[in-house]
Each structure stands twice: as structure tokens, then as C-alpha cells.
Amino acid sequence: GSWKWGGGFLDQWGFYDFAGSTLVHSVGGWAALIVIYFLGARIGKFDENGKPQILSGHNIPLASAGVLILWLGWFGFNGGSVLSADPTLTSLTLVTTCLAAAAGGISATIFSNTLYKNFDLTMFMNGILGGLVGITAGADQMSPMDAVLIGLIAGVIVVLGVALIDRLKLDDPVGAVAVHLICGIWGTLAVGIFGELAGLDQVLVQLAGIGIIGAFSAISATIIILIVKAITGGSIRVSKEEELEGLDTAEHGMGAYADF
């Protein structure tokens, strides 16, 4: 964060990330990618031929409520990053944030339905989050139409990103890599494509920042997970028996759901 927001070398290079498409989201996305690689897939995620299987979440309405809470919270996340009560800039930031989220949800739904012939609510929700992540780097620089375009592209990227992670035989239960890493990269590059800072030079600076932060985050996450593995005796997974029984029972001594 200090490399940009603290006046560090990325800031001096002209790297721009208003509220954290890279500095927040892709940092977490790189860490998620490293951890799921070391952790391995859940039992039953891939069949004997390596084909991914659907392991449904336990409560889609609750997940939907969570996404709506995040959408609302993002107004504080992006709007608060203005760091003032300037009505013009704050209003623009709130509008671009909301439009990108809506566009991301719509495009993810349409694109997912085109590919898979079903209206997958989880893709709609991840599309919203992808749009939010995508606009975060340049929410104060974009016009409303720019924000819509960024969100529309982010929604498509989310669907493709989820498919890519499955193809790589990685198990990402909530689409964190597609949403936070891939859309974080897209949002950071979008600063150089749309808005007030658009230009090839800005795209190259954005790419350099993405690469440096990505390398730092991936190496750091690898070191941390290896330390955790060493501390826990060489494994970061629960046993097969505990996984099949359910961690509620294994860790808390009671089940969260009756007769589950």
C-alpha cells in the first residue's frame, strides 16, 4: 500500500490505483491462488477423469444477501477513498461504483447463460463483485459510460476466470481468484484504457505495477503457507475423515444443520 498510497516508488512512476483493484484485491487474489494450490481440491470436486463437479453452497439466499451487503459497503470503500466530502468527486465515485456492479452482474448472467444454458445465480453474484473490483482502481477517473463498459467486461472475465481455474484443476469454492485477482488486474489496466489517464504509457506503468505487486504477493504468500505447513506438522488440511464428517462436528462438537 505504501508503494502507491504512501508516496512510494510506484506512485512516483505514475501508477494509479484509486481504492485498491491491485493494492487490495489482487494482493488477496494472488494469496488465494497460492493457498488453494497448496491446499488441494475438496474431496469430490474432480471426478476420476479430472472433470470438475458442482459442490453447491449451503445457502444461496444468505450468499445473495452477503453480496448485496458488499455492494452497499463498497460505497464506503470507494466513496470513502475520496478522503474528503467533496460532493462532485464523491458523487461521481458512487455512481461509477454502482453502475459497474450492475453491469458486471448483467453481463456475467447473459454470458454464463450463453455458455451453459442456465441462469446461475452464483455467476450473477460474482459478476457484481467482479464489476466492483474492476471499477475500484479508477472509480474517480471514469465517466458513467466508462464504468458500464468496465463492468460489462468484468462480468465476462469472471465467467471465463472461473472456467480457467477449473481447467487448471484448482478448487476455488467462491471464485475468489476470478473476482479479486483477474478482475483486479483488469480494473488496474482499465485505468490506462478508459477515463482521464488513458494512454499507452499509462497502460505500461499499470502493467509494471501489476507485475511487481503480483510477484511480491505470490512470494510472500508462498513463504507464509510454507511456515504454516511447518508449524502444523507438514499438512494444512484436516483429515479425510474430518472433511467427510464436517468441520462443524470435528472442530465444534456439534452440527450446524440438523440431519445434514
DSSP 233: T
Cell of 75: 460505497
Cell of 150: 468496465
Residue with cell 510472500: 220
pLDDT band at 260, cuts 50/70/90?
low
pTM: 0.94
Closest to 20 in 3D by CA, of 205, 201, 183, 145: 183
> Distances in Å between the alpha carbon of 51 and those of 58, 163, 227, 239?
22, 11, 32, 23
Cell of 124: 450473477
Q: What is the pLDDT of residues 133-189, one digit of tens each?
A: 999 999 999 999 999 999 999 999 999 999 999 999 999 999 999 999 999 999 999
Rounded to whole angstroms, the Cα distance separating 117 from 106 reads 15
Rounded to whole angstroms, the Cα distance separating 37 from 189 reads 26
Q: Are 25 and 180 in contact (CB under 8 A)?
A: yes
pLDDT band at 249, cuts 50/70/90?
confident
Mean per-residue pLDDT, 186-211: 97
Rounded to whole angstroms, the Cα distance separating 5 from 18 reads 9
